[in-house]
Amino acid sequence: MPRESLQARASRTQQIIAGLRRAYPDAHCELNYSTPLELLIATILSAQCTDKQVNIVTAELFKKYRRAEDFAIATQAQLEADVRRIGFFRNKAKNIRACCQKLIERHGGEVPRTMDDLHALAGVGRKTANVVLGNAFNLNVGVVVDTHVARVSQRLGLTRATTPEKIEPELMKLVPQPEWALFSHWLIWHGRRRCSAR
């Protein structure tokens, strides 16, 4: 079967977007947060873990830790105890403390608004940075590629790539930039609600 041209795929992507928009008009980030810092912490915790599980933990965590300083001065043992229900909790606690220390040193405790500044923080990869930029600041710098986005975009024939590093630039060529953050939410909602991995 001949490979579809980029133009044909882009046109098909527009039809897919129209269908997803109709199916999931309320699609949004399902992590609970009220500040950019809370979203950053929740996203670090969400790696290889469900949003539901993260929301259970952060409900208490965000009452106890309100600013970057609160996380930075917590002891490793203390923070580990507070996020123990989450997979890889030791490593995540270590990254959150280091991340918040760097936020204080370099950004006055505020979450930065650029990919490079976010990427330089402990525990923050491109996916986490995209989540924060797209949802906390409404900046479409890239497309979040999690397991649902990877699986569903492959199944829809939008990419044959298998790694987030290769899938993201392919999706960025197909999806209009103002919809990059939303497109991820639509695919994640579709992956969770209808298009199972089986």
CB-CB neighbours of 196 under 10 Å:
8
From CA 174, how far away is CA 63, in angstroms rounded?
41
Token pair, residue 54, equals 């993260």
CA-angle at 52, arms to 182 and 197, nearest 5°: 70
CB-CB neighbours of 52 under 10 Å:
9
Residues marked active site are found at 127, 146
**Are 72 and 97 a contacting pair, CB within 8 Å?**
yes
Encoded amino acid at 84, one letter: R
From CA 184, how far away is CA 146, in angstroms rounded?
8
